[in-house]
Amino acid sequence: MIETHDFAQDAYLGDDGYVLGLLEGLREIELRLIPTGLHVLDQPLPSSSVEDVLALAAEHQPPPVLARLRQELASCDEGEAILRALDGRYLPPSSGGDVIRNPAAVPTGRNLHGLNPALIPTAYALRAAVRAADQLLERAQAEQGAYPRSVGLVLWGTDNLKTDGEAIGQALALIGVEPQLDDLGRVHDVRLVPLDRLGRPRVDVVITASGIFRDLFAHHLDLLDRAFRLAALADEPPERNFVRANTLAIAAELEVPLEEAALRIFSNAPGTYGTNVNFAVESSAWSAEEELARIFLSRKSFVYGRGVEGAQNGQLLERMLAGVDATFQNVDSLEFGLTDIDHYNEYLGGLTRAVEQIRGRRPAAYVGDFVMPQGKVRSVEEMVALETRTKTLNPRWYEGMLAHGYEGVREIESHVTNTFGWSATCRAVPGWVYDAIVRTYVDDEALLNRLRELNPHAARGLLARLLEASTRGYWQPSPETLAELRRRYLDLEDGLERL
């Protein structure tokens, strides 16, 4: 047991290295698919990646579909298609989305259309959404001793496009509402799931939607707004209906009509997009974390609902977030996770920091990681650790990136910055992550030299970010590590000045 414990620490697997937990952790890391390299236009997937995608698709698709998928993935006519489009000629249409769920998305190089809103959320997406919502509530209850009274949800457009509306379904599931279908099977309204069938209280939800979601899913903004109203006005005991309890309390406190206190959907001002938290983090243009919260609040304080189309109401948003016990967002692909792009951080991270600002303590932050068959609800800390191990520190991942030259180094640097973003917004990055990044990219002089030769600016940026993590108190490197980092950084600065 003691040896396992030491091994676990050496492998950054924490100090609770009991054999079974360790085995499960290692299997999870081993089985996780990782993207190796970037897509190159007009080049088909390498055959090893085709096999990986097929193995995952086999969980969802019958053999004939898999056979066609194998063929389509191995061919690629994007270049020809672009030339046709530039020529103003016809391109056949296709649906988009994640190829594992929707094999009709290949071949690529066709004219993509998004969705039929009337079919969303699909029955499949709803079943997955109910499972995810139950898991989220179970986990939050186990960790906090009670159901969260309100969950802060991030809704994205691309995410709902790829999953046929799973995140929309999760919001409905949490409040205990289900879609109503018309005779043609189209989602045309919502109704309450009776409390007895629900078997738990209705959990309140505050939605922060991206500008893209707002633009693409107008019909669903409407449905969600109706769902909140139904729950808020239901004749049910407030202790079994947190939407109603919160609405009554907020109406009394802010002296506003119930109609206004039942609004739960916030997004950007009409015509604008993004939280800008990512820009502040990337440019180091902030001094206190509070500023990140303020940036998020100012961008997302526009309310949408019946009769309100993006009216600014910061007071209402802040009052809603004051009741949020947990935050949640789905990660919908293996390609783009918490450390691959800055947008999860600007949204889920920004929301979590905003709630902390208002409540004075950090809410539990979770992600729905259901891409792999053994997917589950994870804490942000767990997800950052998993992605660090499978991507940032993984030679298969970074060698795949470095094969793309300067752009690969930029990707690596951006992973470190995005990881740092989870320190800045959620303090979700343990010291071993930064230590291990140093071990991988800095202590290995040959690797650092390769980064520097391919992209000296990004290599310098990587070192600067590690130094920033230390300066801002998110990581306490040993004095030797810090001295080494500074030396390497100055070295790179010097080299750049001489360029």
- Interface residue list for ligand BEZ (CB under 6 A): 156-158, 210, 212-213, 343
Nearest 5°: CA angle at 282, between 280 and 285?
Answer: 40
Nearer to ligand BEZ, 4 or 276 (CB): 276
CA gap 35, 326 in Å, rounded: 30
Nearer to ligand BEZ, 418 or 481 (CB): 418
CA gap 255, 212 in Å, rounded: 32
Nearer to ligand BEZ, 157 or 350 (CB): 157
In angstroms, give the least distance from the CB of 33 to ligand BEZ. 21
Nearer to ligand BEZ, 219 or 396 (CB): 219
In angstroms, give the least distance from the CB of 279 to ligand BEZ. 13
CA gap 468, 220 in Å, rounded: 41
* Cβ pair 409, 451 in contact under 8 A: yes
In angstroms, give the least distance from the CB of 50 to ligand BEZ. 27
Nearer to ligand BEZ, 275 or 481 (CB): 275
In angstroms, give the least distance from the CB of 212 to ligand BEZ. 3
Nearer to ligand BEZ, 275 or 388 (CB): 275
Side-chain half-sphere CA neighbours of 176 within 13 A: 25
In angstroms, give the least distance from the CB of 213 to ligand BEZ. 5
Nearer to ligand BEZ, 216 or 321 (CB): 216
CA gap 143, 345 in Å, rounded: 23
Tokens of 135: 């898991």
In angstroms, give the least distance from the CB of 426 to ligand BEZ. 18
In angstroms, give the least distance from the CB of 116 to ligand BEZ. 18
Nearer to ligand BEZ, 150 or 210 (CB): 210
In angstroms, give the least distance from the CB of 351 to ligand BEZ. 13
Closest residue by Cα to residue 342 from 274, 407, 431: 274
Closest residue by Cα to residue 348 from 165, 151, 216: 151
Side-chain half-sphere CA neighbours of 400 within 13 A: 18
Q: Are strands 376-379 and 364-369 parallel, antiparallel or unpaired?
A: antiparallel
In angstroms, give the least distance from the CB of 157 to ligand BEZ. 4
CA gap 73, 57 in Å, rounded: 12
Nearer to ligand BEZ, 211 or 363 (CB): 211
Q: Are strands 265-267 and 177-181 parallel, antiparallel or unpaired?
A: unpaired
The set of residues, in sequence order, having a beta carbon less than 8 Å from that of 288 and lying 6+ positions away, is none
In angstroms, give the least distance from the CB of 45 to ligand BEZ. 23
Nearer to ligand BEZ, 108 or 210 (CB): 210
Nearer to ligand BEZ, 108 or 278 (CB): 278
Closest residue by Cα to residue 166 from 157, 175, 15: 157
CA gap 135, 137 in Å, rounded: 5
* Cβ pair 455, 410 in contact under 8 A: yes
CA 239 to chain centre: 31
Phi-psi region for residue 405, left (φ > 0), alpha (ψ -120 to 50) or beta? left
Closest residue by Cα to residue 375 from 323, 416, 334, 428: 334
In angstroms, give the least distance from the CB of 97 to ligand BEZ. 12
3 state SS of 302: strand
CA gap 54, 121 in Å, rounded: 25
> What is the Cα Rg of the chain in Å?
24
Nearer to ligand BEZ, 156 or 242 (CB): 156
In angstroms, give the least distance from the CB of 449 to ligand BEZ. 34
Tokens of 64: 């004939």
CA gap 480, 10 in Å, rounded: 19
